[in-house]
Amino acid sequence: MTLARQHPIQVVAHRGASEEAPEHTLSAYKKAIEDGADALECDVRLTADGHLVCVHDRRINRTSNGRGAVSALELAELAALDFGAWKNRDESPDWEYGPGDPEDTSVLTLERLLELVADAGRRVELAVETKHPTRWAGQVEERLLVLLKRFGLDAPESAAESPVRVMSFSARSLHRVRAASPNLPTVYLLQFISPRLRDGRLPAGVRIAGPSMRIVRSHPAYIERLKRAGHQVHVWTVNEPEDVDLCVELGIDAIITNRPRAVLRQLGR
Ligand code: G3P
Ligand code: CA
């Protein structure tokens, strides 16, 4: 059954165009914008000196030539490292690491990503995921809102108009964001279906569900319940053509993918 979607399905570049370029680097986000992605997804963590940087893992070992936890390192220490060369080790066929602009493969601050989006020349939305926010007792959200304010994005007139949304597996993190900025859209990420929310409800005030593709494949009836409850559904991480087809069939609102170019092509865009 195809359920109604109120707008075209949105294609969101997960960690940038992260299949082709090293995740969470400026190069990956530039590529996603060039590819025509509607929105960019990024994970944010606080450095030891209070900057929000775009890094997925707690530690930087996998995606840089350094070691250690983001929370234990200062921005200047992270800025001295390379966040691009590891991608060659993984033999990405479409991304050639070379002597480009070093900024393209250095640690990316959320501030720099907001600048990139502001300069995109078209509307590009941003889905910011707060990582392990409970550890920081509100500091991640506080810093995020300060940055959004700097770009005039912290207090949209309405959720529909906001080019930024905040995602989290933590309902508490989303609650903090809404308490400070009621119109900023929030997305509750789901890795499994909590018995409490089985009927399609979401935590109070949240209007968007973010289930994994695994949930969508194994529990399409749950997705229909979410849609019938009036929620938008944004799915991660959708890389296979048959999964894209299923998302279209189920009326999914946003596809979060490592391969924005391929998904856009499949959707005929
Ligand atoms: O977009 C949500 C998705 O990114 C959550 O999983 O581990 O890739 O951050 P993860
Ligand atoms: Ca994420």
Question: Which position among 51, 56, 231, 234 bears the catalytic label?
Answer: 56
CA of 7 to the centre of ligand 2 (A): 23
- Which mean pLDDT values do the consecutive 10-residue runs of the chain (269 residues) have? 69 97 96 97 96 97 96 97 85 67 94 98 98 79 97 96 97 95 97 92 96 98 96 98 97 98 97
Asked whether 38 lines ligand 1 (CB < 6 A), one says no
Q: What is the ipTM of this complex?
A: 0.99
Per-residue pLDDT, 6: 63
Q: Which residue's alpha carbon is at the smallest distance from atom 5 of ligand 1?
A: 236
Residues 130 and 261: their CA atoms lie apart, in Å, by 26
Q: Which amino acid is at 203?
A: P
Q: Which amino acid is at 19?
A: E
Asked whether 23 lines ligand 1 (CB < 6 A), one says no
Give strand pairing partners of 12.
39, 256
Per-residue pLDDT, 99: 63
Read off the pTM: 0.95
For residue 43, which ligand has an atom nearest its CA? Answer: 2
Asked whether 187 lines ligand 1 (CB < 6 A), one says no
For residue 42, which ligand has an atom nearest its CA? Answer: 2
Domains of the chain, each with CATH number or no CATH:
10-266 (3.20.20.190)
Per-residue pLDDT, 1: 46
Residue 56 is a catalytic residue: yes
Residue 14 is a catalytic residue: yes
Q: Among 6, 26, 10, which Cα is nearest to 18's? A: 26
Give strand pairing partners of 125.
39
Specify the ligand 1 atom closest to the Cα of 210.
2
Q: Structure tokens of 53?
A: 């940087």
